[in-house]
A and B are shown apart, each in its own frame.
Chain A
Amino acid sequence: MLCSPKPMRWPMRRLFVLLGAILLAAPSWAQAPADPKLAASWAFMQAQMPGVPASLLEAACKEGSVMIYHGTWIDAQEAQMAKFRERFPCVTMETFSADTGQRQERWMAEVRAGRNIADIVQDSDPGFLDRESGTGDLMQYQISNDAKFDATAKKQGYWYALRVALVGIAWNTDLVSDEEAKKLTNWQGITDPIWKGRGAVVDPSAGGVAYLPWYVWTKNYGPDFLSKIGALKPRVIAAVVPAAASLASGDIAVLFNASETGLLPLLDKGAPIRWSLPEPGIGPMTGQAIAARAPHPNAARLYQEYAFTTEGYGIWQKLGGAPARSDVKDQRDVAKESWYKTPANFFPYDRADASASVQSVTDTYTKLVKNAAAAKGP
């Protein structure tokens, strides 16, 4: 009986049926793309985008291009796109770059008119991305590396943080002694009278990273803190980049609200500058999302996936700013400097409240700092 073929045939048949069922029910991501030219891309996806199906790659290649609306962090963006091009040669990329306000207005005008051009949108105002995800202008798409971002660095399924744009106190090492610089390790240090006539601030009206410190200082230390800054008669500079350039040239000695992203290219080129990142840390996230009605939705998903892989994220982060992904080690050269220390704790703030407080914070700043700085006399 044991050798009888009949009893054996049924279990075999069941096994084949079972195997067939397993294969049919197998997740589509396990299937390689039919086109052998996509093998290298597929291998990369399997390694760094767990769970992303081959069908996404095939669909992205069919669409063939992706349009990215990005900010003025050109070097980081171009480096990431160059590597993406290498990994996924079937998708070409086009870009539009402008300052935050102008970029936002253009994109929103296009969305409102139903003329959708952007596939990927980036923004240095996380409050804006939050609002847009609420209005349905951003696509709901959870990336495969979603778990690598904590709750403050994403709006789950909508946008993910490319970086933390850290704010610190920066000084010119030719004009500020090491002894004096010790006063600049905490925020209160900037109100010391030794900085009178030597310091500068970036006007909060420049927006984004220039605005957030004024919001945090007002919330955390009250208007008196701003009065003390005003009494130092700082030079008011209209934007982040010219402020960093003034510091590097030695035209100002200290910049009280310096954006690290403006300082880094200058440090890399040998400018005599240093900065501290006092506690509580201040740093708005720069995020990336997919437009809800992206003309190339699959290519956009593929780019969004790539941007937050270990490789894509590392390339962008090395030139673009401090990492927001929890498992990525800071790859910037500055991170290896002995004097460089990122804050352990960040000021917890409500992004919607920060956006809603722009007018009141700017008014307080104008009254206590700007007018005091412009007034004649001591």
Chain B
Amino acid sequence: MRGVSSLTLALVLPLLVLIVLPIAMVFYGSLLSAPPGAAEAVLTLENWQTVYLSAPYLAALANTVLLGLVSAALSLLVGGALAWIIARTDMPGRRSLALLLLLPMMISGLVTTLAWIALAAPNAGFINVWVRGWSGIRTLLNIYSFGGIVLVHVLHYGSFAFLALFAALRSIDGAMEEASAMVGAGRLRTALSITLPLITPTLATAFLMIFVFVAENFPVPTLLGSPVGFQTLPSLIYQNMAVTPAHPTLAAASGTVLLWIALIGTILQQRVSRQEKRFVTVSGKGSRPPMMALGRWRYVCLGFVLVFLLLAVVLPYLALLLGSFMNFLTPNLKPSVFTWANYRTLWTGDAWAAAVNSLLLSGGGGLVLTAVYVLISSRLAELGSNWRRASDFISIIPSAIPALVLGMGLIWTFVGLPLPIYGTMGILIIAYFLRNLGTGVRHANNAFAQISGDLAEAARINGATRLQALRDIVLPIARPAMLSLWTTLFIFIFMEVSATILLYAPSTRTLPTVLWNHMASGSQPRAFAIAVAQASLIFAILFITDRRLGTLRSNFERVG
């Protein structure tokens, strides 16, 4: 730790404790016969034996890995194609469409799944009933299948991949591609030998993060996989918590499994990104990357983007909107099934306070966490590449642990501590900090990795302090990436429910917890109305912040 400033230590050490404590509690809990603190709890390896050696868990692990790999690969393929079309081609309407591509991230996985059940349930899905009406085909789409699960994930995380890769493609120094063209390389060769290596670190990070998101997700595989006997580890974790008496320590042991996979994934990601210096492209003298003229292919690309938007935005939102005006979900659209009641009663009770809390947590909390992740990243840069590599491992751990298990770890940790955190917004902020650590630190690292240290060094040679160099040189260049990080955090925090449902207090109830409770009590159309309101609210806030601060414009203004 030689040469490490006291500011760095003061920041890094408490955060390390904050990360390590709940994770340690999860591991400790997984080695007990009953939850920590219970009189009957004794140390045992039984949970680990069940999780690591029994056939159902091993099968669930294989399913989880398969689902994660397929979904992440397809999400990158789709998201990458979208990013390339929007960022690097002359397709018409790119700027407007770019904003719409973020919409799939504004509905939670659970709500998207329910919307897709309404659309593509084999016998009564809107699409199937409609197709059956004119073609006679009984079931065109069956959402209860492996393909259905992958579809829902790809439509959701395709957006995430788009956002990550769009920024990477736009920040490439165009001179490199121009040089490649000047020496006679064709478009494909330039793409494979210049562009692809430049965005490979972002590709690796996005692949790992999407894999982790998919692997720890429980609503999608639980709801869509049960009819075909497809179970993932998070499905089993959910069952361990749903069954009475619940098995929280077995759930904790299951939560540790995904950790090893995420750590292996991090090793692979680091191998890909090892020669980070090669990818430094923002050095104060770069040029814009060239735009490709598509000719008649413009409309093929436009068609591709529109089909994605149809599947990821238009159809699920239509299903949500339609469902939110119904008494109950049915493909028999008679006048008697429609009602205003779900909206008339929407803002009664706790929903207002919950909406305010959600806005505070996602807006304010997102801002605080953006600052924290950027600070962590800048401090890690000071500490050197070994610490930055270590941070990749440390930060992935809380993100890889399923939210239900992480929430339990937080309860076990904080409920007994004599600190004024449990039952306040503080514990929710901690939960969101941990849940988004992997994304946040990587996002911030990538932003800083693309900024040459030469710029800050030049400023310091000219007499600027380290803080001045950060404020006047690094932060302005990193501003678009930071605004993009805030945008991602705002959406993720606003949507979070799996950990929040365990940790909220009456005064810190959020909108997704209200939605969840209506869903669980059988009021699916009312939950759909909340989902519509929630997505509208998120979109409105992002639209306003974009107008005022350029949160999205900073990325998209260079389009066209």
Residues of A participating in the B interface, judged by any CB pair closer than 8 Å:
67, 72-75, 78, 94-102, 104-106, 108-110, 112-115, 117, 124-125, 127-128, 131, 174, 203-208, 211, 235-239, 241-242, 244-246, 248-252, 261-262, 265-266, 269-271, 355, 358, 362, 370-371, 373-374
Quick check: which of B297-305, B323-331, B383-391 contacts chain A, the rest being far away?
B323-331
Q: Would you mind naming 23 contact pairs between A and B with Cβ atoms under 8 Å apart?
A: A72-B517, A74-B517, A78-B349, A94-B506, A96-B504, A98-B502, A101-B244, A104-B245, A105-B35, A105-B246, A110-B415, A113-B416, A117-B423, A124-B244, A131-B245, A205-B239, A207-B243, A211-B243, A211-B244, A237-B227, A239-B242, A245-B522, A370-B229
Most buried by B among A73, A101, A124, A205: A101
Measured between beta carbons, the chain A residues less than 8 angstroms from B243 are 101, 204-207, 211, 358, 362
Asked if A269 contacts B327 (CB within 8 A), the reply is yes
Measured between beta carbons, the chain A residues less than 8 angstroms from B117 are 242, 246
Most buried by B among A74, A95, A99, A105: A105
How many angstroms from the CA of A269 to the CA of B330 in the assembled complex? 12
Asked if B246 contacts A109 (CB within 8 A), the reply is no
How many angstroms from the CA of A112 to the CA of B40 in the assembled complex? 12
Measured between beta carbons, the chain A residues less than 8 angstroms from B520 are 72, 99, 241
Measured between beta carbons, the chain A residues less than 8 angstroms from B339 are 269
Measured between beta carbons, the chain B residues less than 8 angstroms from A99 are 241-242, 501, 520
Given contact pairs A67-B506, A105-B411, A239-B242, enumerate 6 new A-B contacts (beta carbons under 8 Å): A94-B506, A236-B227, A242-B117, A246-B121, A246-B124, A250-B123
Asked if A271 contacts B229 (CB within 8 A), the reply is no
Asked if A249 contacts B329 (CB within 8 A), the reply is yes
Measured between beta carbons, the chain B residues less than 8 angstroms from A74 are 517-518, 521, 523
Q: CB < 8 Å: which of A97, A128, A237, A371 contacts B229?
A: A371
Measured between beta carbons, the chain B residues less than 8 angstroms from A127 are 244-245
User: Counting CB contacts under 8 A, is B519 at the interface?
Assistant: yes
How many angstroms from the CA of A265 to the CA of B519 in the assembled complex? 12
User: Counting CB contacts under 8 A, is B223 at the interface?
Assistant: yes
Asked if B124 contacts A251 (CB within 8 A), the reply is yes
User: Counting CB contacts under 8 A, is B125 at the interface?
Assistant: yes
Asked if A244 contacts B35 (CB within 8 A), the reply is no
Asked if B502 contacts A115 (CB within 8 A), the reply is no
Asked if B328 contacts A249 (CB within 8 A), the reply is yes
How many angstroms from the CA of A105 to the CA of B222 in the assembled complex? 21
Measured between C-beta atoms, what is the minimum distance from B57 to chain A in Å?
13
How many angstroms from the CA of A73 to the CA of B520 in the assembled complex? 8
Measured between beta carbons, the chain B residues less than 8 angstroms from A269 are 327-328, 339
Asked if B124 contacts A108 (CB within 8 A), the reply is no
Asked if A100 contacts B415 (CB within 8 A), the reply is no
Return the chain A residue nearest B225 by Cβ.
A238
Asked if A125 contacts B416 (CB within 8 A), the reply is no
How many angstroms from the CA of A237 to the CA of B243 in the assembled complex? 15
Q: CB < 8 Å: which of B35, B226, B330 contacts A108?
A: B35
Measured between beta carbons, the chain B residues less than 8 angstroms from A245 are 328-329, 522, 524
User: Counting CB contacts under 8 A, is B422 at the interface?
Assistant: yes
Measured between beta carbons, the chain A residues less than 8 angstroms from B416 are 112-115
A-contact bits for B386-421, CB 8 A (1 contact / 0 none): 000000000000000000100010011001100000
How many angstroms from the CA of A251 to the CA of B114 in the assembled complex? 13
* Majority SS at the chain A contact face: helix
User: Counting CB contacts under 8 A, is B234 at the interface?
Assistant: no
Most buried by B among A115, A261, A373: A115
Measured between beta carbons, the chain A residues less than 8 angstroms from B337 are 270
How many angstroms from the CA of A75 to the CA of B341 in the assembled complex? 14
Measured between C-beta atoms, what is the minimum distance from B500 to chain A in Å?
10
* Range for the number of chain B residues in contact with chain A: 35 or more
User: Counting CB contacts under 8 A, is B228 at the interface?
Assistant: yes
Measured between beta carbons, the chain A residues less than 8 angstroms from B228 are 374
Q: CB < 8 Å: which of A95, A112, A124 contacts B38?
A: A112
Known: A102-B502, A106-B411. A125 touches B227 (CB 8 A): no
Known: A72-B517, A105-B35, A205-B239. A251 touches B227 (CB 8 A): no
How many angstroms from the CA of A362 to the CA of B521 in the assembled complex? 24
Measured between C-beta atoms, what is the minimum distance from B240 to chain A in Å?
8
Q: CB < 8 Å: which of A117, A128, A248 contacts B330?
A: A248
Q: Across the A-B interface, give the 4 residue pairs with the lowest CB-CB distance, nearest first.
A: A374-B229, A269-B327, A112-B37, A101-B246
Measured between C-beta atoms, what is the minimum distance from A118 to chain B in Å?
11
Asked if B329 contacts A248 (CB within 8 A), the reply is yes
User: Counting CB contacts under 8 A, is B336 at the interface?
Assistant: yes
User: Counting CB contacts under 8 A, is B144 at the interface?
Assistant: yes
Asked if A262 contacts B242 (CB within 8 A), the reply is no
How many angstroms from the CA of A106 to the CA of B122 in the assembled complex? 38
Most buried by A among B337, B422, B517: B517
Asked if B37 contacts A109 (CB within 8 A), the reply is yes
Q: CB < 8 Å: which of A98, A207, A262 contacts B501?
A: A98
Asked if A115 contacts B422 (CB within 8 A), the reply is yes
Asked if B521 contacts A96 (CB within 8 A), the reply is no
Q: CB < 8 Å: which of B242, B415, B522 contacts A206?
A: B242
| Chain B 211-230 interface residues, beta-carbon cutoff 8 Å to A | 222-223, 226-229
Return the chain A residue nearest B408 by Cβ.
A105
Measured between beta carbons, the chain B residues less than 8 angstroms from A67 are 506
Most buried by A among B349, B422, B423, B521: B521
User: Counting CB contacts under 8 A, is B248 at the interface?
Assistant: yes
Measured between beta carbons, the chain B residues less than 8 angstroms from A241 are 519-522, 524
Measured between beta carbons, the chain A residues less than 8 angstroms from B35 are 105, 108-109, 112
Known: A96-B506, A109-B35, A241-B519. A249 touches B244 (CB 8 A): no
Measured between beta carbons, the chain A residues less than 8 angstroms from B415 are 109-110, 113, 115
How many angstroms from the CA of A99 to the CA of B223 in the assembled complex? 16
Return the chain B residue nearest A373 by Cβ.
B229
Return the chain A residue nearest B123 by Cβ.
A251
Return the chain B residue nearest A363 by Cβ.
B56
How many angstroms from the CA of A241 to the CA of B110 in the assembled complex? 14
Known: A75-B521, A358-B243. A235 touches B411 (CB 8 A): no
User: Counting CB contacts under 8 A, is B505 at the interface?
Assistant: yes
Asked if A96 contacts B330 (CB within 8 A), the reply is no
Q: CB < 8 Å: which of A78, A128, A203, A248 contacts B328?
A: A248
Known: A249-B121, A250-B123, A251-B121. A238 touches B330 (CB 8 A): no
Q: CB < 8 Å: which of B118, B227, B328 contacts A271?
A: B328
Measured between beta carbons, the chain A residues less than 8 angstroms from B245 are 104, 125, 127-128, 131, 355, 358
How many angstroms from the CA of A239 to the CA of B117 in the assembled complex? 14
Measured between C-beta atoms, what is the minimum distance from A96 to chain B in Å?
7
Measured between C-beta atoms, what is the minimum distance from B132 to chain A in Å?
12
Measured between beta carbons, the chain A residues less than 8 angstroms from B239 are 203, 205-206
How many angstroms from the CA of A108 to the CA of B34 in the assembled complex? 11
Most buried by B among A67, A238, A246: A238
User: Counting CB contacts under 8 A, is B275 at the interface?
Assistant: no
Asked if A205 contacts B328 (CB within 8 A), the reply is no
Return the chain A residue nearest B247 by Cβ.
A101
| Chain B 20-41 interface residues, beta-carbon cutoff 8 Å to A | 35-38
Q: CB < 8 Å: which of B124, B144, B412 contacts A249?
A: B124
Q: CB < 8 Å: which of B37, B121, B248, B349 contacts A113?
A: B37
Measured between C-beta atoms, what is the minimum distance from B342 to chain A in Å?
10
Measured between C-beta atoms, what is the minimum distance from A49 to chain B in Å?
26
Measured between beta carbons, the chain B residues less than 8 angstroms from A117 are 423, 505
How many angstroms from the CA of A262 to the CA of B125 in the assembled complex? 20
Return the chain B residue nearest A115 by Cβ.
B415
Asked if A270 contacts B328 (CB within 8 A), the reply is yes
User: Counting CB contacts under 8 A, is B135 at the interface?
Assistant: no
Measured between beta carbons, the chain B residues less than 8 angstroms from A262 are 522
Measured between beta carbons, the chain B residues less than 8 angstroms from A204 are 243
Known: A101-B242, A105-B241. A237 touches B522 (CB 8 A): no
User: Counting CB contacts under 8 A, is B332 at the interface?
Assistant: yes
Measured between C-beta atoms, what is the minimum distance from B513 to chain A in Å?
8
Known: A250-B330, A358-B243. A238 touches B423 (CB 8 A): no
Known: A101-B241, A105-B35. A238 touches B223 (CB 8 A): yes
How many angstroms from the CA of A362 to the CA of B56 in the assembled complex? 13
